Every structure is written in C-alpha cells, then in structure tokens.
Amino acid sequence: MDIQPNARTTVWQRAAPALLMMILAPTFTELLLGGTRLSTLIAFPPVLLMEILVWGGGAVLLRGLARKLKLGWSSLLLFALALAVAEEFVIQQTSLAPLVIQIKGVEWGRAGGINYVYALWALVYEAAWVVLFPTLVAELVFPDRRDGTWLSTPMAVVLAILFVLGAIMAWFAWTHIARVKTFHLPLYNPTRVELGAGIAVIVGLIAWGIQFPPAFGRAWRPASPAVVAGLGGLWGVLWFLLAVLAFGIAPQLSAPAVFAAGAAVLLIVVLVLPRWTSHAAWSQRHSYFLFAGALTGAMLISFLGFRDAAREDIVFKLVTNAIALLLMFFLGRRKTAVPHTQEETCPNS
C-alpha cells in the first residue's frame, strides 16, 4: 500500500517513487543507451523536459492505472505498448515518416507507409525501457509501496495535463524543427486514416489490458538468476542490432526476413518470461538480474553507435554508464542481501 499522509511523511517522500520512475524512463530510454546525446542536450535543452513529461509522465500514469485496477504485468505490458504506439504513430510519427537516418543512404524495411522493421524494434524497446524496466526498478527501490498507485487524483490530473503538453511540444520539436531544420527533410503529414488507426490501436490496447488481461498458461520454474541475467543481456544486444539493421546498415539483407527474426526473438520472450515470472520461485533476485543483465548488455553494445560521435558525447556516455553500473551494483547488494524466504515474487496475472 502507499504510505499514507501523516505528520512524518512529506509531499516529496510520498511522491518519491513516482518521481524516480519519471526520471528512470528517459534515463534508460534516451541517456544511457545513446538516444539523446550531450550535444543534443546542449543544443536543445528542452528535449530532456519533454522526455520526462512524455516518457516519465506516461509511464507513471499507466503504472498507476494498472495498480489502481489491481492488474498485473501482462496488462501493464499492453499499456506500455499503447504508449509506444502513441509515440511512434501519433506524437513523433517516426514509424510512419521515412526514417531520418539511413546509414547506407537507401530506404529499407518500409512498406505500406510504415517503417515496419524499425516499428518492431521501437515498440518493444520503448515498452520495455520506458514502462516495464522503470516500474521494476522503482518497485525494487520502494518494495513496501509496490502495490500503491503513487498518485493521488489531483496528482494524476496534473500529470495527465503535463503529459499532453509535453506530447505537443515533442511533436512540434521533432516534426517541425528537428526533421525539417536539422535533418533537412520535408515536413511529413500523416493522413487522418493513419492517425485515426494509431489512436484506435492505443484505445484497443488499453481496453484489452483492462477487460481481458492476457494469460500465458502454466507457470514454469525459472532459470537461475545468473542465467536470467545472461539472457537479459543477450536480448539487450540483439535488440540493439535490430535497430542498426532497421536504419539500413545492411540493405542487401531481406527486410521481411529480418522482421521475422526479430518477431521470433520477441515470441520466445513472450512465451517464456511471463511463465517464469508467474512461478512462486521467481524472486526479487530474478527481477534484479533480469534488469541488470539487459541494461548492461544494451549499454555495452550501444557504444557501437558512437564510433564517429563527438568526443563530448562519448565521454558523456562513458560517465553516465559508469554511474549507472555503480548504482546498479549498490541496488544489487541491497536486493541480493534479502534472504530468499523473505523475497516477494513479481506479479504477472
């Protein structure tokens, strides 16, 4: 349950889990993995505010909705996909508009007006790093408040308003400033049908998560935390490589085949991980090592995208990644020090 207001708890203490999650969402998604570099922050400082409001605010609102309705991780996954669809097809429209980065200068992995390989990568990447992993880490840091919404009604209303304002700012900054003035590409205007379809999918995913939470079948005893960490790291590496392919680094490859391979990896994760997390043997150790492995793998492999980066951007990534590893180490010491019998399993219903 959430800590209730009393003489000993301040507003900041009550808001701490939500504030942490709002910071974690853009930190994982953009800063640690290189999506937003120091040079970008210097050239356009409002970008960080927009990421906190859209990524962080959206993630906290969706997690709060799931906890308020007593829904599990399967529903939160659908909510996370809804936020990713909003970003990719409504707000910044990056899965609809021709990609601004084409490594070999050719259009690849695009059909029917959708960058379908990129969209597969982005939807899963954003769902995981914007909503699911920030939720997992924030609940590890504040385990006694894991079941709370972290939001009062007034706070939720304010956050929803800020999310909308941040989304409008992000839409304009990307579609009218970055795309046109930085990348020197024509303004892209999606059709009403495309926008309507995107909004319909968002509503459908949220309704699905509320009314028909997915069930993944019989629980399976999970592998050891070390194996889970290794598999998390492997996923982090493979998903980064899918992004590189989506930007056309190897246009000689078959885009449908690459899409199928990415979908196969996703299918394995969806079939295995929820069954593991729903088993009574899944513990906080498993949750921590899953996150630690995925983040470590993703941070390491993403250095490949910095081969021609500015010196300050490389230093910024090195420093932020080192800090992240240090904080992750201290979180791990705290979690792995808990006796196994006292750990709580991750909900997945």
Rounded to whole angstroms, how far apart are CA atoms 178 and 197? Answer: 25
SS3 299: helix
> Residue 212 corresponds to which tokens in the numbers above?
């028909």
The pLDDT tens digits along the chain (349 residues) read 444 445 467 777 888 999 999 999 999 999 999 999 999 999 999 999 999 999 999 999 999 999 999 999 999 999 999 999 999 999 999 999 999 999 999 999 999 999 999 999 999 999 999 999 999 999 999 999 999 999 999 999 999 999 999 999 999 999 999 999 999 999 999 999 999 999 999 999 999 999 999 998 899 999 999 999 999 999 999 999 999 999 999 999 999 999 999 999 999 999 999 999 999 999 999 999 999 999 999 999 999 999 889 999 999 999 999 999 999 999 998 876 654 434 444 444 4
Q: Which residues of 286-302 are buried (b: 16+ CB within 10 A; e: fewer)?
A: bbbbbbbbbbbbbbebb
Q: Which residues pair with 114 in a beta bridge?
A: 111
Looking at residue 3, its pLDDT comes to 46
- In angstroms, rounded to a whole number, what is the distance separating the alpha carbons of residues 249 and 187? 25
Measured distance CA(148)–CA(74) in Å, rounded: 17
pLDDT score, position 13: 83
User: Domain spans of the chain?
Assistant: 11-342
Tell me which residue of 153, 147, 136, 165 sits closest to 53, measured CA to CA. Answer: 165
pTM of the model: 0.93
Tell me how many degrees the CA angle 275-278-283 measures, rounded to the nearest 5.
115
| Other C-beta atoms lying within 10 Å of the C-beta of residue 133 | 24
What is the number of alpha carbons within 13 Å of residue 213 lying toward its C-beta?
15
For residues 122 and 137, what is the distance between their CA atoms, to the nearest angstrom? 21
3-state secondary structure of 110: strand
pLDDT at 173: 96
> Any idea which residue has 């750990």 for tokens?
343
Q: Is 277 within 8 Å of 348 (Cβ atoms)?
A: yes
| pLDDT, position 122 | 98
58 touches 85 (CB < 8 A): no
Say if strands 110-111 and 114-115 run parallel, antiparallel, or are unpaired.
antiparallel
Give the pLDDT of residue 12: 79
The whole-number pLDDT of residue 1 equals 40
- The 3-state DSSP class for residue 32 equals coil
pLDDT at 349 (0 to 100): 44
Three-state DSSP at 19 gives: helix
Q: Which of 3, 11, 52 is nearest to 154 (CA)?
A: 11
Rounded CA gap, 277 and 118, in Å? 28
Tokens read off for 343: 């750990």
CA distance 199 to 213: 20
pLDDT at 10: 77
Q: For position 348, what pLDDT does the model report?
A: 47
- Residue 217: its pLDDT value, please? 87
